[in-house]
Amino acid sequence: ETGVTQSPTHLIKTRGQQVTLRCSSQSGHNTVSWYQQALGQGPQFIFQYYREEENGRGNFPPRFSGLQFPNYSSELNVNALELDDSALYLCASTEGGSTYNEQFFGPGTRLTVL
């Protein structure tokens, strides 16, 4: 059983640019959630994908968008980057759509916006 993987590990962008982060879910997991963890804060929910459809979204603007592919891997896209987008972006996968299954997190992508 493979765990959740994310790429890249680190990324540096400048304001106004666009970025794509990638996540491979744990084997057998069809639900993927994305979180933003700013320095010194807890993770904040961005959105969730279940069977290739977005089925929940947190308080993030539309320039944060995502995709889930048939193999349940996922992408997070952020357009028009702002300095405050600098954070650790975490992907988490869950088995099935059950609300009581724990989420398994990847190591994260550290995004720095200059």
Strands 109-113, 10-13: parallel, antiparallel or unpaired by DSSP? parallel
Measured from the CB atom, the residue of 43 and 85 that comes closer to other proteins is 43
How near is the Cβ of 19 to other proteins at its closest, in Å?
A: 19
DSSP state of 26: P
Give the interface with other proteins as residue ranges (CB under 8 A): 4, 6, 31, 33, 35, 40-45, 48, 50, 55-56, 58, 90, 92, 94, 97-108
Measured from the CB atom, the residue of 80 and 94 that comes closer to other proteins is 94
CA atoms within 13 A on the CB side of 43: 17
Provide DSSP, 29-41: --EEEEEEE-TTS
Measured from the CB atom, the residue of 71 and 99 that comes closer to other proteins is 99
How near is the Cβ of 36 to other proteins at its closest, in Å?
A: 11
Three-state secondary structure call for residue 114: coil
Three-state secondary structure call for residue 83: helix
How near is the Cβ of 114 to other proteins at its closest, in Å?
A: 20
